[in-house]
Amino acid sequence: MLKNPTVHSTVFQLPELEVNIEEDVLLVDKPIRCTSFDIVGKVRGIVQRKANRRVKVGHAGTLDPLATGLLIICIGKKTKQIDQIQQQTKEYTGTFRMGATTPSFDLEHPVDAMMPYEHITREMAEAVAHSMTGPLEQAPPLFSAVRCNGHRAYILARKGQEAQLETKSITIYEFELTRFELPEIDFRIRCSKGTYIRSVARDFGAALQSGAHLTALRRTRIGDYRVEEAIKPIILSSGERPDNKKETE
């Protein structure tokens, strides 16, 4: 199967790791344009070469390929804590591009619709952010790993098939707008497990009688784990931004 260059174009290696192959938690600052499983595969290879045997390695909460930031890797006996870590509150920062939508609600797919955004004021945007704070029912993106009729939703989406995904109960604890320079709005969100920030972008744009998609997303915190404490992969080469860059600036 050919790899999607938007997803897999970053070539990287990990720095020298000092890990306990029996049980350890490793924090990694995931780069853009690679998957969470790309990181897990690199760590697993290093750990198993050191151990000269199979070692359980897994992540405690995936990040989309175009997102960056904190990825928690559990090794050996610590994989038993993955569910516990996943339940913790998460924090993200990023950028909404107003007045344009994409099928995936981010830059993985080209812009499919444009709409006015000039009517949006900071006061209006702040009011919508406030209204989206608290317990919510959220519909996941069709381009996601959520199962629908026994299939991953993104597989149906890539085939052009429509699917009705059930809403999920989530909580947004904080929704702060940190920069307002239309057509871009920067944000910081603290939320519960299962929150799709891409869906927040969709709902935020719709509530402002416009549209929106993510042009940047970074996970900065999971519980007490912070991205500042994470190791940074060594980037050997990185691909260009997706083709719709010119349409979203």
Q: Which candidate in 29, 38, 64, 203 is catalytic?
A: 64
What's the confidence (pLDDT) of residue 153?
57
Residues 142, 217: one domain?
Answer: yes
Cβ distance 87 to 44 under 8 Å? no
Residues 70, 130: one domain?
Answer: no
Residues 44, 164: one domain?
Answer: no
Sequential DSSP letters for 59-109: ESS---TT-EEEEEEEEEGGGGGHHHHHTS-EEEEEEEEETEE-TTSSTTS
Residues 118, 173, 168, 157, CA torsion sign: positive
CA distance linking residue 52 with residue 33, whole number of Å: 30
Q: Is the pLDDT of residue 246 over 60?
A: no
* Nearest residue to 211 via CA among 66, 94, 104, 97: 97
Residues 127, 177: one domain?
Answer: yes
Q: Is 64 a catalytic site residue? A: yes
Of the ranges 95-99, 160-164, 185-189, which one carries the lowest mean pLDDT score?
Answer: 160-164
Residues 117, 166: one domain?
Answer: yes
Residues 206, 99: one domain?
Answer: yes
How many domains, the chain? 2
Please write the tens of the pLDDT for every residue from 98-118. Answer: 999 998 899 988 999 999 999
Residue 241's pLDDT band (boundaries 50, 70, 90)? Answer: very low
Residues 186, 232: one domain?
Answer: no
Cβ distance 99 to 206 under 8 Å? no
Q: Model's pTM, two decimal places?
A: 0.88
Residues 60, 137: one domain?
Answer: no
Residues 58, 106: one domain?
Answer: no
- Domain ranges, residue 56: 5-86+225-247
Residues 190, 150: one domain?
Answer: yes
